């Protein structure tokens, strides 16, 4: 996942409800429970990954990942609402991107394979977690393109869904930016064009009515730690709507720009249908 500067109107300061001793204590409790939940799930996940050849596949550890993600959403006070049917086979997800929480929400479905940029592998903690989750690190060198396509094809053949964020940045969650068509070129390669379904997914994050609509957004130069603490202290009664459109196929479109535009239309429509406006 990459976080770049979102070039929109700067948001006004978020109004924060006063946090009393009870609210502070509850947030600390959430944090402790979240860390314990993470530790337990990582240990189980790592164990299952180690014996994966004996188990005959990755389905057990992906089940653990889904359980971890759903537990995190519960701890954050966020109810998951699904619209449509996610892919049950190998393919690709293309989604809008508002927050690190998108990763948690999308981990709660299917066998999602993340495609962070190569430098994420060197980041402390996050890089280690990405490697543990078998993220497919993407290099921008042209010499690596063919090998990376082969790696993607192998993941899809194993039943995984590759996850793309075609906006190219995270936002405040109050809009869906145009999709960068360059990310769709891979779907027109010989390995993918006839066989890989591309499913648009819209994520609409809605905090409780008393809170700013952009609460869950994480973009620009926002720091991760303070935003996690903000979620722990303020996120009660929130919802995330995940809308799954019908899968698209590259062979039904003239070129990558046409495919990117249709995917954007589907995501924007799904987001607009369920996003509470500020």
Higher pLDDT pick, 194 / 272: 272
- Per-residue pLDDT reduced to its tens digit, 66-76: 999 999 999 99
pLDDT surpassing 70 at residue 11: no
Give me the DSSP letters along 59-114: HHHHHHHHHHHHHHHHHTTEEEEEES---SSSEEEEE----THHHHHHHTSTTEEE
> Which pLDDT score, from 0 to 100, does residue 17 have?
64
Interval 231-250 mean pLDDT = 94
CA–CA gap between residue 26 and residue 41 (Å, rounded): 22
Q: If phi over 0 gives left and psi between -120 and 50 gives alpha, with beta otherwise, what is residue 77?
A: left
Domains for the chain: give ranges and CATH numbers. 21-274 (3.40.1130)
Residue 240 bridge partners (DSSP): 80, 205
pLDDT surpassing 60 at residue 6: no
Q: If phi over 0 gives left and psi between -120 and 50 gives alpha, with beta otherwise, what is residue 241?
A: beta
Q: 2: pLDDT confidence band, cut at 50, 70 and 90? A: very low
From residue 6, alpha-carbon distances to 72, 97, 137, 227 in Å are 26, 11, 23, 16
Interval 30-55 mean pLDDT = 93
Higher pLDDT pick, 11 / 191: 191
CA–CA gap between residue 271 and residue 133 (Å, rounded): 28
Tokens read off for 42: 């990582």
> Which pLDDT score, from 0 to 100, does residue 20 have?
75
> Which pLDDT score, from 0 to 100, does residue 5 have?
41
User: Which range (68-82, 205-219, 248-262) has the least confidence?
Assistant: 205-219
- Per-residue pLDDT reduced to its tens digit, 174-216: 999 999 998 898 899 887 878 899 999 999 999 998 888 889 9
> Which pLDDT score, from 0 to 100, does residue 141 have?
73
Among 110-114, 128-132, 175-179, name the most confident range. Answer: 175-179
Interval 224-239 mean pLDDT = 90
> Which pLDDT score, from 0 to 100, does residue 15 have?
59
pLDDT averaged over every residue in the chain = 87
């Amino acid at each position: 996942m990459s976080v770049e500067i979102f070039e929109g109107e700067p948001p006004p300061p978020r109004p924060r409800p006063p946090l009393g001793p009870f609210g502070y204590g509850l947030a600390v409790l959430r944090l402790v429970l979240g860390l314990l939940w993470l530790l337990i799930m990582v240990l189980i996940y790592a164990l299952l990954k180690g014996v994966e050849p004996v188990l005959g596949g990755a389905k057990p550890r992906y089940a653990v990942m889904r359980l971890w993600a759903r537990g995190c959403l519960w701890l954050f006070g966020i109810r998951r609402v699904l619209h449509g049917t996610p892919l049950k086979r190998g393919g690709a997800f293309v989604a809008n991107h508002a927050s690190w929480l998108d990763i948690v929400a999308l981990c709660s479905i299917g066998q999602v394979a993340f495609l962070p940029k190569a430098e994420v592998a060197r980041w402390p903690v996050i890089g280690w977690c990405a490697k543990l989750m078998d993220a497919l690190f993407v290099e921008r060198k042209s010499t690596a393109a063919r090998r990376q396509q082969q790696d993607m094809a192998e993941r899809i053949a194993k039943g995984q869904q590759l996850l793309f964020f075609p906006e190219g940045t995270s936002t405040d969650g109050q809009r869906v930016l145009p999709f960068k068509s360059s990310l769709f070129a891979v779907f027109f390669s010989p390995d993918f064009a006839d066989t890989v379904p591309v499913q648009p997914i819209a994520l609409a994050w809605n905090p409780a009515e008393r809170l700013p609509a952009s609460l869950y957004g994480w973009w620009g130069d926002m720091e991760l730690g303070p935003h996690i603490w903000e979620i722990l202290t303020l996120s009660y009664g929130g919802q995330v709507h995940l809308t799954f459109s019908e899968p698209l196929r590259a062979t039904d479109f003239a070129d990558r720009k046409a495919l990117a535009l249709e995917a954007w239309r589907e995501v924007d429509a799904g987001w607009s249908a369920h996003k509470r406006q500020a």
